[in-house]
Chains A and B, each alone.
Chain A
Amino acid sequence: MAENIIKIENVKFKYDEKDTLYAVDGVNLNIRQGEFTAVVGRNGSGKSTLAKLINSILLPESGKIYVKGMDTADDSKLWDIRQAAGMVFQNPDNQLVATIVEEDIAFGPENQGVDPSEIRRRVDEALKAVGMYDFRDWPPHMLSGGQKQRIAIAGILALNSDCIILDEPTAMLDPSGRKEVMDTLQKLKERGKTIILITHYMDEAVQADRVVVMDRGSVKLDGTPKEIFRNMDVIKKFGLDVPQITQLAQGLYRAGLDIPPDIIDVKELVDLLCR
């Protein structure tokens, strides 16, 4: 059993003292090293807030969050936590700092005071990892949304983060940009990175090892994509959809075909139908 890289213990948070509802209301969650977790939930379910709590941008009102054993409320560990759990945001334009791609990726390690030759090595490695090495001397505004988001991911890789938290990284991208980002995440998973993907798209969630469904600030469901999506009615209750392919499979199942209701992959369904 891999160890838990992130431990969230009964965390509560609200944005304003006067608010009666908690944005995050008693969440318990453990993320294992090397795991690819998707967090889904409708707007206002507290999933983005949870991401900011892990990255120590926000501090919990009660409860504790540990990143690699470090308490996020511990001010002296702030930068170590941000280094350990890097964060990619939604808008690709508003997180790139420098006027040239490789300068932007160097921004993180420069902040950490890393040696120049080591920065160079990390930048090249990160660029190759996201497949953007050929664009290293481009200005960011000449890139597509998907490419910009890959640069943002490379920026986190250059920090040498073990865990990457992505807060709806594909929300502002077109389908091909979304695919670019998802392919990049699969590659990072193979490299042993822990990934927490916050998303609206169920088709992205099924690519994860584990899906966490949040609603009204707390975790409602937690399991493998197959376990989560087999229950269409429960999912719909939380304002979410099942992936199209699962919906189709379940329609066929109800129509009397011998097909299991937990199909999440096109190929799987095709294989079953062509038996």
Chain B
Amino acid sequence: MSIPVLEIRDVRKAFGSELVLEDISIAVPEHTATVLIGASGSGKSTLLRCINLLELIDDGIIKLDGEEITSVETDPDVVRRKLGMVFQSFNLFPHMKVLENIILAPMRVHGLSRDEASEQAMELLKRFGLSEKADQYPDRLSGGQQQRVAIIRSLAVAPRLLLLDEVTSALDPVLVNEVLSTVRDLKDQGMTMVIATHEMGFAKQVADEVCFLEKGRILEWGTPERMLENPSNPRTKDFLQRVHEAGRL
């Protein structure tokens, strides 16, 4: 087996005296998707932000393609060029049109010319059925469209690994599906992903591995079938029961 794209070992993170991640260890092989589930505040988002070096970890090691990215010598900008991240709140740049949002990083970070970057961006927009939105400002788009643009923006730099942080939580139920099917397409095309989500049905479809987090610890992990249908940990059962009652399963 080749080295995993992402390897997290014994990661720990505290905000002040509050421990938010403890003994986290995950390996994500190429072309697989690892889904993080757990209640809000369980540490899913923090973990993704740590991988992206938006937060500094307090202990442990994170490796990308076998190389440690958490050493003091690492240049975070270089690491982030290989990662894509999509946020719960889209975070599109409101002063830029859709196309400009997408070509910003390819042009400024990867040195593509405006034409090259635009051509590539238009291809992506076309692939995801958003070509006619290229010249619009983000606030003219629906939430689902905005989130899909955000996904395209993160894809435009051809990342090794895509981090998705509850990408459907800010959307109304009708729009959730268009975003999820976009993510499913990516998975089919072999994108390696770490996904934090509350959508259990979606988790079952895309995940190769599901990790259940509670209070900053991974309590249980395994295949989606086992985790979502027959979890062994009573806490996982309890969580899934509550999700089920909320009508999300």
Do A and B pair up? The answer is no
Q: Which residues of A contact B (CB under 8 A)?
A: none
B residues apposed to A, CB below 8 Å: none
